[in-house]
Amino acid sequence: MENLPVKIIGSHGSPYSMKMLAVLRYKRITYQWIIRGSKDDPNPDIPVNLIPIIIFPGKDGSYSEATIDSSPLIRILDNVYPNRRVTPVDPVLDLIDTLIEDFGDEWVTKMMFHYRWTYEEDIEKAGTILPLWGRLAISQDDHNFMKKMFSERQISRLAIVGSNEVTAEVIENSYLETLKVIENIISKQDFIMGQRPGSSDFGLFGQLSQLVLFDPTSSEVAMKTSPRTAAWCYDMQELSGINVIEGNWISYESINQTLGPLLDLVGKYYVPFLRANAESLENDEDTVKCVIDGKEWVQSSFPYQGKCYKHILEKYFGLDKNNREVVDKIFSETGCENLFEN
């Protein structure tokens, strides 16, 4: 099985595709990169049209069913290919890593979508380039049609992720704060989780690969605000060459001093939304309404983020008494402790 490549079907413009491609490279797993919608796309049967799609090789030379969803995929990869783990074995670190990864996947993605489909320069670039990946040999008329269709469809989805005139300030403030916090962390250590990357590093990188390296407005903000984050994003694309020392994760004693401001951001922006979204789903409501950073937040309720919240709760309440006390101490006064209140 190890001699056969993992197939990853995605797009350069998909943050989750870039996240998983970086994981495969870091873990030194042989892979085939296939652009979704290209002539080489096997178009596997999947329940929803999401990317990236991972297809694992079998021992008999055949390939298994297509798999989606980056966070579970990372755990599968760590189980199947245990070298150079991305997820900590330590349950306390694993919970913290999972929460920060989730913040990247589900909150920083709001920043990515907002910047890409709000500002004219960004809309023009994304609308022009994204339809061309894997489809270079198309007529200008077809390209113009795809550009218009793709842009209009994505712009119409802004309300789904929560981007509007009221929430724009919250989203952009949270982006600035996230850049500054990451700048400070990586001025002290190479990665979020210490001297080796965790799933949180890849979760944040996936979204920042677009915000910092592709979209014009947000990349300009990043260069002015956090040049280290820009350099870190370039490094994160290809980590196959770094040496990994087992146990080089952040220590408990360093978490609050180093990651405390990042946990504060999670507690400030993401936790209120997670709780409100869960309540909305529980009450079978279509709309989430809450207050984030003193501003009203309104968006469609999101079942997947309800699933994310449930997964975090399961990890927390699955801890033994001693480990839960450690987590409680770390999360105290960050706002993250509110995740576990009734």
Residue 61 within any structural domain of the chain: yes
pLDDT at 1: 47
Tokens of 297: 């937040």
| pLDDT tens sequence across 112-167 | 999 999 999 999 999 999 999 988 999 999 999 999 999 999 999 898 888 988 89
Angle formed by the axes of helices 199-211 and 227-236, nearest 10°: 110
What's the domain range around 33? 6-80
pLDDT at 2: 53
| pLDDT tens sequence across 285-305 | 999 999 999 999 999 999 999
Helical spans, DSSP H, in 43-139: 70-80, 91-103, 109-118, 120-129
Tokens of 124: 């023009």
80, 106, 138 — which closes off a domain?
A: 80
Sheet of 53-55: strand order equals 31-35, 6-10, 53-55
Residue 35 within any structural domain of the chain: yes
In terms of domains, do 58 and 117 share one? no
Mean pLDDT, rounded, for 212-226? 98
80, 113, 128 — which closes off a domain?
A: 80
In terms of domains, do 252 and 282 share one? yes
Residue 85 within any structural domain of the chain: no
Q: Are 10 and 21 in contact (CB under 8 A)?
A: yes
291-295 contact pairs (CB < 8 A, 24+):
292/167, 292/170, 292/268, 293/170, 293/173, 293/174, 293/268, 293/269, 295/166, 295/167, 295/169, 295/170
In terms of domains, do 110 and 146 share one? yes
pLDDT at 114: 96
In terms of domains, do 166 and 197 share one? yes
CA distance 288 to 300: 6
Residue 266 within any structural domain of the chain: yes
In terms of domains, do 15 and 164 share one? no
In terms of domains, do 128 and 237 share one? yes
pLDDT at 47: 66
55, 80, 105 — which closes off a domain?
A: 80
In terms of domains, do 73 and 175 share one? no
Residue 31: CATH number of its domain: 3.40.30.10
In terms of domains, do 200 and 238 share one? yes
Residue 86 within any structural domain of the chain: no
| pLDDT tens sequence across 222-260 | 999 999 999 999 999 999 999 998 889 999 999 999 999
In terms of domains, do 10 and 105 share one? no
User: What share of residues in the chain are helix, strand, coil (percent, to 5)?
Assistant: 60, 10, 35
Q: Are 255 and 185 in contact (CB under 8 A)?
A: no
The label of the residue with tokens 């969803």 reads 69
Domain count, the chain: 2
Residue 222 within any structural domain of the chain: yes
In terms of domains, do 98 and 197 share one? yes
In terms of domains, do 287 and 185 share one? yes
| pLDDT tens sequence across 68-119 | 889 999 999 999 999 999 999 999 999 999 999 999 999 999 999 999 999 9
In terms of domains, do 52 and 144 share one? no
CA distance 182 to 160: 27
pLDDT at 46: 75
Mean pLDDT, rounded, for 319-327? 97
pLDDT at 48: 67
